């Protein structure tokens, strides 16, 4: 039992160690030239960036991928200004 406890502690501590390869920042920070509006105007660019963010988010950076996500949400849902219009006839349940 003591060996098992010691083994579990060693495994837990080794799993909590630093992971240099996964936490490194990209060496070159690209300036953010894409905005939500520019991506909405260019659907091909939005599609390309969505694919690249899915594959390697760390390379592109969280800021750009968040902009891509917001543009995708706006493209799918619209601007949210459409009022609700109930049907003229009430549904029969």
In a domain, 71, yes or no: yes
**Could you tell me the CA-to-CA distances from 21 to 16, 24, 31, 41, 93 in Å, in that order?**
14, 6, 23, 36, 59
* Residue range(s) defining the domain that contains residue 72: 33-76
Look at residues 20, 57, 64, 59 and name the one whose alpha carbon lies nearest to residue 39.
Answer: 64
For the ranges 21-25, 72-76, 79-83, which has the lowest average pLDDT? 21-25
pLDDT grade for 18, boundaries at 50, 70 and 90: low
Mean pLDDT score of the chain: 81
In a domain, 2, yes or no: no
In a domain, 28, yes or no: no
In a domain, 37, yes or no: yes
The predicted pLDDT at position 20 comes to 52
In a domain, 70, yes or no: yes
The predicted pLDDT at position 13 comes to 72
Q: What is the pLDDT of residues 20-43, one digit of tens each?
A: 555 555 444 445 788 999 999 999
In a domain, 61, yes or no: yes
Helix ranges (H only) for the chain are 2-15, 20-23, 36-41, 43-55, 57-60, 62-77
In a domain, 44, yes or no: yes
Interatomic CA distance for residues 1 and 38, integer angstroms? 62
The predicted pLDDT at position 28 comes to 44
Q: What is the pLDDT of residues 44-62, one digit of tens each?
A: 999 999 999 999 999 889 9
Number of domains forming the structure of the chain: 1
């Amino acid at each position: 039992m003591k060996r098992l406890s010691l083994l579990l502690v060693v495994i837990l501590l080794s799993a909590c160690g630093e992971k240099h390869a996964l936490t490194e920042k990209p060496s070159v920070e690209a300036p953010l030239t894409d905005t939500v509006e520019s991506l909405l105007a260019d659907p091909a660019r939005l599609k390309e960036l969505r694919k690249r963010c899915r594959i390697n988010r760390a390379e592109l950076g969280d800021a750009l991928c968040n902009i891509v996500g917001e543009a995708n949400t706006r493209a799918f849902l619209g601007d949210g200004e459409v009022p609700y219009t109930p049907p003229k006839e009430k549904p029969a349940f």
